[in-house]
Amino acid sequence: MAPAARVARALWPGGCALAWRLGGRPQLLLPTQNRAGFAGAAGGPAPVAATRKGSPRLLGAAALALGGALGLYHTARWHLRAQDLHAEHSATQLSLSSHLQLTLYQYKTCPFCSKVRAFLDFHALPYQVVEVNPVRRAEIKFSSYRKVPILVAQVGENSQQLNDSSVIISALKTYLVSGQPLEEIIAYYPAMKAVNDQGKEVTEFGNKYWLMLDEKEAQQVYGGKEARTEEMKWRQWVDDWLVHLISPNVYRTPTEALASFDYIVREGKFGAVEGAVAKYMGAAAMYLISKRLKSRHHLQDNVREDLYEAANKWVAAVGKDRPFMGGQRPNLADLAVYGVLRVMEGLDAFDDLMQHTHIQPWYLRVERAITEASPAH
């Protein structure tokens, strides 16, 4: 394959993690045994009425006042307990993260890689970055899995390789919450071979949107079944839909394609000759490929409209009553959407997105949350 074509296939959504949507998606293995169980949020004690028939109004008023006082007491107690659990959870995560040495192999402009960085930064996990040359890919010659991101996690004497952005995020979050050995956690996300609708064999991973937690841990993270289901649904939406809107938008016109590859060359790891070839031949190749992607994913003639609709759909799902889908803090779905959209910063597609949709306030809130949490590395 020519260098320019390899660059075009390697960078942005088309080749950095899972190349195309699967035509015949394998049945994902649902979690089993105690790590997969999840009980609904425990309900509070039912209100008790203890007034006797024919009792005076004064007694009824006193009972009402007592009930209100008890309600306030239990609300305050629940709030303080939630704060204690959050502090305890944060301390546990800090202790576990101090034992991790992480190395992320990436293309900086890859949305899947950006998604992983958003997770690592928000959870204050220090990590080393190895920028992979998209033509030679010598930096990942140790791996039979040839896509990025790849994360190598060193825990004591043991080194574990994690592949696929969603698996990396789910496995690390499970580790931070449960403290299970990382090698055992990885086994919950088996690699599976499948054939996509182009007849090409690809690797998919089972259970990749699940956190492998017991009931107590799941309650601590989510608070209820609905929150867990919602997070998983939107994480999958990011991988199945949102990420496929990036390339058609950043390569929409020859001018935009050239600007995108100028950014890719500046931020990526290229030699002088490779950079020049990538900038011009890669831009031309991706402009043409983006037209095929537009047809493949049944996008509108003006692909910006699909991007705008996706952004507004996400904002509507978050709603007006909470700053993030995760409530007061971004959850894994918030971080995934932010990470994917972030790769367009500095390009016309990003400016148009901020101007023509309602996503900017949410986007800036996530950006602020990550900045405040992330360590210097």
Does residue 16 have an active-site annotation? no
CA 13, CA 74: separation in Å to the nearest integer? 49
Q: Say if residue 64 is exposed, middle or buried (CB neighbours under 10 Å; 0-12, 13-18, 19+).
A: exposed
Residue type (1 letter), 29: L
Does residue 142 have an active-site annotation? no
pLDDT for 285? 86
Domains delineated in the chain = 88-373 (1.20.1050.10)
- Residue 245 · residue 299 · CB < 8 Å: yes
**Which of 38, 112, 122, 350 does the annotation list as catalytic?**
112
When pLDDT is averaged across residues 196-212 and rounded to a whole number, the result is 91
**Which of 113, 251, 261, 363 does the annotation list as catalytic?**
113
- Residue 25 · residue 204 · CB < 8 Å: yes
**Which of 107, 209, 261, 338 does the annotation list as catalytic?**
107
When pLDDT is averaged across residues 5-14 and rounded to a whole number, the result is 52
Going through the chain in order, the beta strands assigned E by DSSP cover 100-106, 127-131, 150-155, 158-163, 191-195, 201-205
Does residue 251 have an active-site annotation? no
DSSP reduced 3-state for 108: coil
Query: How far out from the chain centre does Cα 297 lie?
Result: 21
pLDDT digits (tens, 9 = 90+) for 87-146: 445 545 555 666 899 999 999 999 999 999 999 999 999 999 999 988 889 999 999 999
pLDDT for 1? 52
* Banded model confidence at residue 79, pLDDT cuts 50, 70, 90: very low
pLDDT for 268? 79
Residue type (1 letter), 217: E
Q: At what angle do helices 283-296 and 254-267 cross, to 10 degrees?
A: 120
Radius of gyration for the alpha carbons in the chain, expressed in angstroms and rounded: 24
Residue-level length of the chain: 377
Share of the chain above pLDDT 90, in %: 58
Residue 275 pLDDT > 90, yes or no?
A: no
Residue 200 pLDDT > 80, yes or no?
A: yes
Does residue 122 have an active-site annotation? no
**Which of 110, 127, 189, 222 does the annotation list as catalytic?**
110
- Residue 243 · residue 20 · CB < 8 Å: no
Rounded to two decimals, the pTM is: 0.77
Residue 203 pLDDT > 70, yes or no?
A: yes
